[in-house]
Amino acid sequence: MRVIIVGGGLAGLTLASALEKATIDFVLLEARGRFDPQVGASIGLNAAAMRILDQLGAAEEIVRNTAPVELSKVHRSDGTLVMPPAFTFQILKARFGYGVSFLDRQRALKALMDSIAQKDKMLPNKTVLRIDQTDSGVSVKCEDGSSYNGDMVVGCDGVNSKASTRSEMCRLAREKDPDHFRVMNETRMSAEFNCLFGISDPVDGLIEGTVDTLFDKGRSMLVITGKHGRVFWFYHEKLDKVYYTDAKDFPRYSQADAEKLALKNAWRPVTETVTLGDLWEKRVSYTLVPLEEALFNIWSWGRIATVGDNAHKMTPNHGQAGNSAIESAAALANQLQRVHDEGPITSQTIRSALRKWQEKRQARVNATVKEAAAVCRLQALDSRMAPFVMNYVVPNATESLLRLVTDALIGAEIIEYLPVPARSFEGSCPFNQSQGIGKHESVLKRMAIASPLLVLSCWVATMTPMDSVNDSMHQFLQLTKLGERAQFLQNLHVFAGESVIYAIWLIESNRRANVMTFAQFPTIFWLLGLRFGPGVISPCYYALHFALSGVERFAAADARLTNVAYTRLILPLIVLFMGVQLFLSLNGYSIRVDMAWWHWRWMLQPQSLIAITQLIVVKTRMSKVSMHEDTMDNQIRDLPYIRWCLCALSAVSAASWIATRQSVLLDAFSPPLFPDGDLLGLNQQVTLLASLFWVGLLIHDIKSAGMVKESWAKILAIGFVSGALAGPVVSVALGKVDP
């Protein structure tokens, strides 16, 4: 098999190196005079791309030429910070084993060139003039009169070359199958923004290893300070309209245009102390280009394939264009290696391989292109909601942004026939191609799975008149119907069960994976439960938790981490506040005032006080926050506190359950703890049932993801035995004691 690669950029060199290592013959044609020109461009290589480059032997050279990116800063248009610096990049390195490497594109190309042994197959000054294909192969003709024959052509030459592989593919399709050509042109490449990008020598005020992003109306900036202070910068500006590449008025920029734009905007802040003019004064190289965008429906035709910008052109704000091209090249190499090894090499086998390649990459690429477009427009505040998002959502969504980047990396491609680098196993988040961007489980599907909880909630609501909940609570506190022993045991058992459930809710509220979900606000649900009945509200809480906290959120080991500063306060605060409430109840405390006062008394329940006390203690630094340190150094630091909390509360619940059953058996004349028609008892029983169902759903999730190896028979047996001996609350706690 022989593959003709057109274009010696990142994708072309990656594919050439991968094919060489699969012992597939190739020739690489590059229009420029050299494969590593200095054109003022830079590249940020993420963990997904670095793992592939590590397989090819190019990663070490790239790492030597970069400083680790550690801090991320987001600025307003005046340069002030939107939020404190974030350690996103450090966490990503801890998760995947590779940091983000930002360097001159020239150096990255040189590292890839060095990974290819057969330099005689890398041909510069080869501008493609025409491509032809037959049932037996392809032919590529160049401007210098040379021609090359092979089994297929792979275009890695971008979309702006004189006779791009994509344009030749469209020409051949039009000649052979006009309808196919019409479908291919459903997407028109367009540009709504331009970008002035460049490289500068060190600038005072910029810190090595820092990424500065500036949001502004109609424009944005991205500045990365690399090794030895070398600065890589991008200034994006919205155009006056959307331009299409096939139109006569599509913008083409000269060096003079770039200088004019830079000088006009030199005053604009980048940070509190640095302006665009400061970068411009120290410039080493620069280029102004329109930012084309397109996601083509078809990436191949016959024996011709297009990779990278030829198939999915996106804005650079997201930093995924080059990385996606490297992944696509690796995925294509996998398919070609199978064709080469399995044979025979025919038009049909090549078309089948190219179809499988696109099908495998399609969902991931589609989601990446859309995400890049959204990020570009958000940073340019290109909507009415964008300023609100920048000022109020972004500062509180660090974890959500971290999750987005993790989603973009976890499902990354790998060269399947080469050894997996040892470094990729060092992180806390295993790469998994069944997860990540474009492969999320539908929220609607998860809500449908959790629908029995909503049905249960509706049923209890029909059984619980609005005023009956307060009446039940009132009767519960006065407890005049039972004897003294049964009264004590009922109080203890109910309060202990409440404490276990609420402790679990509090633990979930500060878990990293549950950021920006309803699980962050357990006290709201608890107070609603006090007003409408826990049997009505708790199933709704569980349904929302399950729907919005898919298992992919827990792919990274640190995603299940809770903030120890909060978690270690849960047990003492619950013991204090619940204990006071129980003590008052056992000493004959009763309410003999109007229902308005009664309602507010419940609004000031210990659950609210627990949450408020936690917040005060943490905010005043009496209990230090250590989430970042734990993420980097000790991702299981919170487990002892979680176990102590749930085990201690469960022990009290189990003891009261056993004692209550013995009391009922010994006193044949004692009435049942929850007689027929007792709404309080109904609500408590439904809450326990909903809790058990929820735990079962979560166990199913982690078993499906391969995080738990125990069989269902063992899990159900443990749950049944513990529930029968110590009460259902203990079964719920066992399901959450080792998350």
Residue 112 has pLDDT above 50, yes or no: yes
SS3 call for 313: strand
Top mean pLDDT of 219-233, 533-547, 586-600, 713-727 is at 219-233
* CB contact at 8 A, 411 and 435: yes
Out of 38-47, 406-415, 440-449, least confident range: 38-47
User: What are the DSSP calls for 607-653, one per residue?
Assistant: HHHHHHHHHHHHHTTSS---HHHHHHH-TTTTHHHHHHHHHHHHHHH
Structure token pair of residue 533: 């009945």
d(CA 332, CA 360): 10
Measured CA to CA in angstroms, residue 6 lies from 131, 338, 452 at distances of 11, 21, 56
| Residue-wise pLDDT tens digits, 11-52 | 999 999 999 999 999 999 999 888 887 766 788 999 999 999
What's the burial of 6, exposed, middle or buried (CB within 10 Å: 0-12/13-18/19+)?
buried
The more confidently predicted of residues 634 and 301 is: 301
Alpha-helix residue ranges (DSSP H) falling in 195-315: 255-264, 276-281
CATH 3.50.50.60 domain position(s) in the chain: 2-425
Looking at residue 478, its pLDDT comes to: 46
For the chain, give the percent of residues with pLDDT over 90. 39
**Contact between residue 190 and residue 292 where contact means Cβ atoms under 8 Å apart:** yes
Report the pLDDT value the prediction gives residue 671, as an integer from 0 to 100.
39
> Which has the minimum average pLDDT: 174-188, 442-456, 669-683?
669-683
Reported as a pLDDT band with limits 50, 70 and 90, residue 539 is very high
CATH code assigned to 2-425: 3.50.50.60
Contact in structure between 487 and 588 (CB atoms under 8 Å): no
- How far is the C-alpha of 69 from the C-alpha of 653, rounded, in Å? 49
Mean pLDDT of 671-676: 40
Query: According to the per-residue pLDDT averaged within each range, which of 95-99, 116-120, 313-317, 605-609 is highest?
Result: 116-120
Torsion (CA) 354, 360, 363, 367 in degrees, nearest 10: -90
What is the per-residue pLDDT for 54? 96
pLDDT digits (tens, 9 = 90+) for 179-197: 765 655 556 789 999 999 9
For the chain, give the mean pLDDT: 83
Residue 536 tokens read as 């009505």
Name the pLDDT band for 531 (thresholds 50, 70, 90): confident
How much is the pLDDT for 182? 63
612, pLDDT greater than 80: no
Mapped onto helix, strand or coil, the DSSP state of residue 247 is coil
Q: Which of 186-195, 240-249, 477-486 has the highest mean pLDDT?
A: 240-249
User: If pLDDT is split at 50, 70 and 90, which confidence band does 141 have?
Assistant: very high
pLDDT band at residue 676 using 50, 70 and 90 as cut-offs: very low
Cis-peptide, bond into residue 344, ω within 30° of zero: yes
Average pLDDT over residues 231-257: 92
Q: Give percent above pLDDT 70 in the chain.
A: 85
| Integer Cα distance of 101 and 89 in angstroms | 10
Q: Note the pLDDT of residue 38.
A: 72
pLDDT at 580: 66
Q: Is 485 helix (H, G, I), strand (E, B) or coil?
A: helix
pLDDT band at 560 (very low <50, low <70, confident <90, very high): confident
Least confident of 23-37, 55-69, 307-321, 461-475: 461-475
Lowest-pLDDT range of 145-159, 160-174, 439-453, 579-593: 579-593
| pLDDT of the residue at 42 | 84
| CB neighbour burial string for 300-338, b if at least 16 within 10 angstroms, e if fewer | bbbbbbbbbbbbbbbbbbbbbbbbbbbbbbbbbbbbbbb
Q: According to the model, what pLDDT value does residue 60 have?
A: 92
Q: What is the mean pLDDT of residues 543-555?
A: 86
Cα 499 from Cα 653, distance rounded (Å): 9
Q: How many H-runs (helices) and E-runs (strands) does the chain carry?
A: 27, 18
For residues 293-303, average pLDDT = 89
State mean pLDDT over 502-520: 86
Of 169-183, 321-335, 492-506, where does the model show the most confidence?
Answer: 321-335
User: What residues contact 402, with CB distance under 8 A and at least 6 apart?
Assistant: 88, 91, 92
Q: How confident is the model at residue 397 (pLDDT cuts 50, 70, 90)?
A: confident
> What local confidence, expressed as pLDDT, does residue 471 receive?
53
Question: How do residues 323-347 score in pLDDT, each as one tens digit?
Answer: 999 999 999 999 999 999 987 899 9
Q: What pLDDT is attached to residue 590?
A: 47
Q: Residue 150: count other Cβ atoms within 10 Å of its Cβ.
A: 19
* Residue 83, token pair as written in the block: 């939020």
> Which of 145-159, 196-210, 374-388, 549-563 has the least mean pLDDT?
549-563
Residue 417's pLDDT band (cuts 50, 70, 90): very high
Residue 451 has pLDDT above 90, yes or no: yes
